[in-house]
A and B are shown apart, each in its own frame.
Chain A
Amino acid sequence: VRLGRIKQLPCFIRGVFLSNKQTIDKFKQAFLEEAGEIFVELEAALLELNENRGDNELVGRAFRALHTIKGSGAMFGFDLVAAFVHNLESAFDEVRNGRLKVSAELINLSLEALDQIKAMLQEAVGNKAASPAVSAEILTKLRQLTAPLELGATQAAPVAATIALSGFPAAPGAAAVATRDWHIRFSPGPDLMRGGTDPLLLLRELRQLGNLRIKANMAALPLLSELDPERCYIRWDIVLTTSAAREAISDVFIFADDSCALTIEPDEPKPLAASAVIGKSVEKHNTEPVVTAISAPAGTTSEASKTKSPSYGRRATDAPDAAASIRVSSARLDQFVNLVAELVTVQARLLEIATRRDDPEVIAVAEQIEHLTSSLRENSISIRMLPIRATFERFRRLVHDLARDLHKEVELSIEGADTELDKSVIDELNDPLMHLIRNSMDHGIELPVNRVKAGKCPTARLRLSARYSGASVLISVSDDGSGIDAVAVRERAVEKGLIEAEARPSEAEIFALVMAPGFSTARQITGVSGRGVGMDVTRRRVEALRGTIDIESKAGAGTNITLRLPLLDYDFGLTPIIALPRKIASAFCGDSKAANDGPYMRRS
């Protein structure tokens, strides 16, 4: 999860007060890039939640992603987006509080909303306008989903209605909910404000949860002459009386949790008037303090801050690891790799000249440079390597949407997602994988009723996998559908004049025909496939990567299509396949052919 990165963005802009438009645009662009990662995270959480509807951790993931998009969107001036997301966030807050159940309807609506958020962000940066009608329709559906809750609460008890209207969600099954005092100690770290977070906004957000008694502690404020004007020295002791859950309180500090010390301790619950309380609160009383301090201010290492926080939907991986990685554009990376390639060429010349002149001192220096250049080359190549996970995970949404549209039940499994490939290869694999999955879903996998008739489980299995195999990387798409009908393929090939009527091709040769341009056994073109283009595109892309496609299929049992991407050189160890731009390949490999022949595949 990269939620932390967006939280850190403001540190670059030191608030949104800068008047420099170019700077603001730059950070808006950075936000858009980061938002893309949050969208992937949100989509994955929603799709997983669809499979595991009782998983509160997944609900928390979705909620946090929405909260981050809303907060960061508002910060960077995407107000419409923030307002739109707020509605969805509220719905997931209801889910978190147990008032709204996860349903297929909610998941599908959330995915639609996610698409609309993307469109709205694109519109905000000058691309095609997002349809306001779509936004309105989504919000209407969302209201319909959540309206019964409000109605039910109103009918159940006036007290509960008052609570719901004032923004304090009631516990499930309870017409009214006990309130509780929470003792909160909030100590901003030295860099909180420089990171773009104003504690005043957090305190105001906290105030919305209930009745707040707050005391600013000025003890740490130094003399004016010694005061760092961009640091917050004030600490706050707060008592919040609310029926809101603990996680709702800690979520207020979600943007600050890496640069403040925070303790949240509950008191005994305060029940409402006995006659108003029907049912029981489901929230367990817990006297353990919640501490969400990640980076306490200098010199404050209280016992409380050492206490490990219970999860409450938070995970260790949510903590930003700013020092561990930085964002670099592909263009700059390519430029770096290009420069290294130039350096390799020059270094080779240097060594050649040094050897020719037979000067031991120059030779020694040239050899040192050769050694360093070699390390630099290995490094520059390895930094382009990415796990294929993100690409694979992106197809969860495609599978979900196609299953819904085609009325099929499909379970997608992913294997070998940590297999690393060069970024350019991964980019090239997107379209082939998409076409293979669409074909599998449309032609291979049967309707549930037909699967049951065939003695199969109504839910089909679709598997995406990646692995190294000797000198190749194998990317497979396999399903347990109906398989390829070899007879039908042969007949169609004869019809299209691809083979002679009397020809007797092997099964493998018949399967290979499905990759021919314009070839399709489908008599009807659907919105998904049937034009005979997808497999042709797949073949061309894989061939461009100097790969091959293996098709295995068994009637009634399923199909397995494997993209075998070759490793042409074996001299440099077992690092994964890379596709080098021609110029670089030529410089790195000394292969003049590579300079003229499209992408050059080799091992680093």
Chain B
Amino acid sequence: VPATLEQCEGVCLLRLDGDCNIASAAELKSLMAQALGCSRELRIDLEHATGLDITTLQLLWVCGRDAQASGVSIALVGRVPDDVLLAARHAGFDRFPVG
């Protein structure tokens, strides 16, 4: 699964690595739920993500929305690769799903 979750002093860091697609969507959802459930701050690192499909983009969007609704601070860390930004733009997102 190209995603890992680290927790340190109340902050969760969710890292996406490589090609994130439907094959890893269930695991990613599980990590997101875990992060939202046990932390007040969630940081997402997409620096090493090479591609996101629709399942991953919509998970990021829902994660961002639900985090705001439940008072969890959510933000991106690191540089977001151009291909990832382009994927969101091509998918018709007004802005990047998170941050």
- Chain A residues within CB distance 8 Å of chain B: 14-15, 17-18, 193-194, 198-200, 203-204, 207, 214-216, 218, 221-225, 227, 229-230, 232-234, 236, 238
Contact = CB atoms under 8 A, between A and B. Distances in A.
A241 to B, nearest CB: 16
B47 interface: no
Interface string B33-73: 10010000000000000000111011101110110000000
B53 A230 contact: no
Given A203-B90, A204-B90, A214-B92, A229 B25 contact: yes
Contacts of B24: 17
Contact of B66 (A207, A215, A224): A224
A218 B97 CA distance: 11
Nearest to B27: A229
B54 A199 contact: yes
Q: Considering the complex of A and B, which 7 residue pairs feature the smallest CB-CB distances, nearest first? A: A17-B23, A216-B92, A229-B25, A214-B92, A229-B29, A229-B26, A224-B66
A14 B66 CA distance: 27
Contacts, number: 85
A188 to B, nearest CB: 8
B92 to A, nearest CB: 4
A229 B55 contact: yes
Nearest to A217: B92
Contacts of A14: 22-23
Interface residues of B, number: 29
B32 to A, nearest CB: 6
Nearest to A199: B54
A233 B66 CA distance: 16
A229 B54 contact: no
Nearest to B29: A229
- Which among B23, B63, B92 has the greatest number of chain A C-beta atoms within 10 A? B92
Interface of B: 19, 21-26, 28-29, 32-33, 36, 53-55, 57-59, 61-63, 65-66, 87, 90-94
A418 B91 CA distance: 48
B91 A193 contact: no
A224 B93 contact: no
Contact of A224 (B54, B62, B91): B62
A221 B33 CA distance: 15
21 contacts: A14-B23, A15-B22, A15-B23, A17-B19, A198-B21, A198-B54, A200-B54, A200-B90, A203-B90, A204-B90, A214-B92, A216-B92, A221-B58, A221-B65, A222-B62, A224-B36, A227-B58, A229-B29, A229-B59, A230-B22, A232-B58
Contact of B61 (A221, A229, A236): A221
B32 A224 contact: yes
B22 A193 contact: yes
A23 B21 CA distance: 18
Nearest to A226: B62
Contacts of B92: 203, 214-216, 234, 236, 238
Contacts of B19: 17
A17 B21 contact: yes
A236 B91 CA distance: 9
A255 to B, nearest CB: 15
A200 B25 CA distance: 15
Contacts of A233: 58
B62 A227 contact: yes
Given A14-B23, A230-B25, 16 more contacts: A14-B22, A193-B54, A199-B91, A200-B91, A207-B90, A214-B90, A214-B91, A221-B61, A221-B62, A223-B66, A224-B33, A224-B36, A229-B26, A232-B54, A234-B58, A236-B92
B59 to A, nearest CB: 6
A204 B61 CA distance: 20
Contacts of B66: 223-224
A216 B91 contact: yes
A211 to B, nearest CB: 13
A18 B25 contact: no
Contacts of B91: 199-200, 203, 214, 216, 234
A225 B37 CA distance: 11
Contacts of A207: 90
Contacts of B57: 200
Given A216-B92, A234-B91, A18 B62 contact: no
Contacts of A194: 22
Contact of B55 (A216, A222, A230): A230
A200 B61 CA distance: 15
B83 to A, nearest CB: 12
Contacts of B94: 215-216
